[in-house]
Amino acid sequence: MKIIEPSVEFVNAPDYQTLMKTIEAAGRTCYKSEDLIKDGSAEEMVRKFLSWGHESPIEHASVTVRIICDRGVSHEIVRHRLASYSQESTRYCNYSKDKFGREIMVIRPCTICEDTDAYRIWKRCCENSELAYFDMLDAGCTPQEARSVLPNSLKTEVVMTANMREWRHFFKLRTTKGAHPDMRKVALMLLDKFEEKYPAFFDNLLDVHTERKM
């Protein structure tokens, strides 16, 4: 059994200016003000849309990411309806095969510290689940049958595509202090990447920035 950390990465992340120009062109259609489009006008216009609460134009821009997290966190991620997902399947992935290292991967809950009784209990439980999983495969069970004993901490990969409006909604919900700690950790990792690449979309998420400091 291997214990790993969650991670996130962009899979398809359009260039910032290309993204902004697409949104500006779409949004200005509402006002028939396309004649005002000029070099450097896109970012200012997008910020105006957001300040006006006119967020439908930003639905024309989508970003795809890959998230490595535990199964419990993935269950929260896929609840976001206005998005598309592809997820590692425990029905078809047989973790006894060489390409998986003949072991399962798990992610430690971020609130459980190593060298504690809680950590040792959690690790023992995951190890026992791994043994039971391989025993079921050896007994002739299919991966979709054996997966019933796998823990919530099992590592999974999710490719998620959403438009910028849904990403804003995602971060508003999943980065607050009241979010599940493991979900919040992944969401904040993603938000750091989005803020660096697409700053205009997140400047006014004051509640997110406030919660992050708490």
pLDDT digits (tens, 9 = 90+) for 21-76: 999 999 999 999 998 899 989 999 999 999 999 999 999 999 999 999 999 999 99
Element housing 11 (H / E)? strand 7-12
Segments of the chain scoring below 70 in pLDDT: 206-214
Q: For the range 37-42, what are the long-range contacts, defined as Cβ-Cβ under 8 Å and sequence gap of 24 or more?
A: 42/17
Residue 105: strand pairing partners: 2
Of the candidates 108, 165, 168, 174, the residue annotated as catalytic is: 174
Whether 91 is a known active-site residue: answer no
Question: Alpha carbon of 56 to those of 21, 24, 49, 133, 147: distances in Å?
Answer: 15, 11, 9, 47, 41
Q: How far apart are CA 26 and CA 18, in angstroms?
A: 13
**Per-residue model confidence (pLDDT) at position 29:** 94
Query: In the prediction, which pLDDT does 208 show?
Result: 55
Contact, 161 vs 87, CB < 8 A?
A: no
Residues 154, 144: Cα–Cα separation, whole Å:
14
Whether this model's pTM surpasses 0.75: yes
First to last CA, the chain: 34
pLDDT score of 154 = 98
What pLDDT is recorded for position 203?
A: 80
pLDDT of residue 214: 43
Cβ-contact 198, 19 below 8 angstroms? yes
